[in-house]
Amino acid sequence: MPRVGVLALQGDVREHVATLEKLGVTVVTVRTPSDLEGLDGLVMPGGESTTIAHLLVTSGLRAVLQTKLDEGFKVFGTCAGLIMLSRDILDGRRDQWSFNKLDVAVRRNGYGRQIASFESSVEVRDVGVVPGVFIRAPKIESYEKNVEVLATFDHGDGEHAVLVRQGNVWGCSFHPELTSDLRVHQLFTDSL
């Protein structure tokens, strides 16, 4: 069984851990660089992207994780995790950084602020319809041809990618860990 880490600095860590445990994988909470040792992949959860970015630096994880990503380490980012993996953050703070591993441009809170959060069905390629929970979700405004789109969603302003993969890096606008449906996480763990 694969060993999957969940970045446990801030955000919906517990929900990802519970989902992965239901899939039968070995789960490790990652708070320090040594926690990354021996992992087959990592989930970067939703939360507040600028806070997570700050904590990645202060924990010493930023440089180590960047190196692992450059070497092909598999990572699945949901919501803030997607933001942290994206090439362009369209409305980020001036000091906001990312790992620049997904050739996508994202807009933080692209589907609206907290009060505009919603749930909707999302059709995922080769999986079917899954529940999508969008909480202050980032919107993928554009992506390069080398990005594989696994799911799109139209919130009234045209189709936008909401689940993407580029090589070893996955990104998701919604929160699959906040539902009882395990299939999105299963897609990722099956790739390990």
Give pLDDT tens digits for 59-98: 999 999 999 999 999 999 999 999 999 999 998 777 889 9
- The model's pTM is 0.96
Domain that holds residue 65: 3-190
Given this model, what pLDDT does residue 94 score?
A: 79
Residue 8 near residue 39, CB atoms below 8 Å: no
> Which among 15, 16, 160, 177 is annotated as catalytic?
177
Given this model, what pLDDT does residue 105 score?
A: 97
Q: pLDDT for 30-48, tens place per residue?
A: 999 999 999 999 999 999 9
How many domains in the chain?
1
Give which of 168, 83, 172 is closest to 131, Cα–Cα: 172
Give which of 117, 109, 154 is closest to 133, Cα–Cα: 117
> Which among 79, 160, 172, 185 is annotated as catalytic?
79
Whether 79 is catalytic: yes
Provide the CATH number for the domain around residue 63.
3.40.50.880
Q: At 38, phi and psi to the nearest 5?
A: 80, 10
Contacts of residue 156, defined as CB under 8 A and 6 or more positions apart, other chains included, come to none
